[in-house]
Amino acid sequence: MFNPSPCPDDLCKQLDLNCCDILIVNTNEAMSLYNQLSNISPLNYVEEIEKKISEILKLLSSVSIIVLTLGSDGAMACVRTLKENNFEFIKVPSIQVNVIDTTGAGDTFLGYFIATLSKENTYDGWKDIPSIRKALQRASVAGGLACERLGAMTSIPSEKEVDQRLIQYQSSNM
């Protein structure tokens, strides 16, 4: 699992990203990776993100999942399926928050995503779609809650806080 944050313009020259199983990126990092891997002029169209993410997965054949944080638009994952060059997209919305400070929100998202996916891991490994969806939902809620407080470490919500807000989140998004 790798989170190239911040993503330098020469990351793909520095590291072999095919050694990763899961990449977790925000929209800027995703576009930087796409531009580095495809050798084309920079693109800034977020509406094209699904296409770009699937292209990154095609170019990084060993990566199984790319998770994309979308800030107030939630998060999504592109998961490689068993069929060659076939991908499943999982999208989750964000929660409504009163943003005070976004410091630590991405790290909080990452921590909750990894922890939840690790707890949910099954025989099928990382490609268990319900587990990935649950990890995205918990991470999205945790990252949102982190924005309601000042600071980095002090903004990380407890599991109890996340669980309480997750109940509201799930009932409003079903």
* Active site residue ranges: 107
Those residues whose C-beta lies under 8 Å from the C-beta of residue 81, and which sit 6 or more positions away, are 87, 88, 127
Decide: helix, strand or coil at residue 34.
Answer: helix
DSSP character at residue 87: E
* Distances in whole angstroms, Cα of residue 17 to Cα of each of 4, 73, 117: 10, 26, 21
- Residue 95's H or E segment, with its range, is none
Omega into 157 within 30° of 0, i.e. cis? Answer: no
Query: Rounded to a whole number, what is the largest CA-CA distance in the chain?
Result: 46
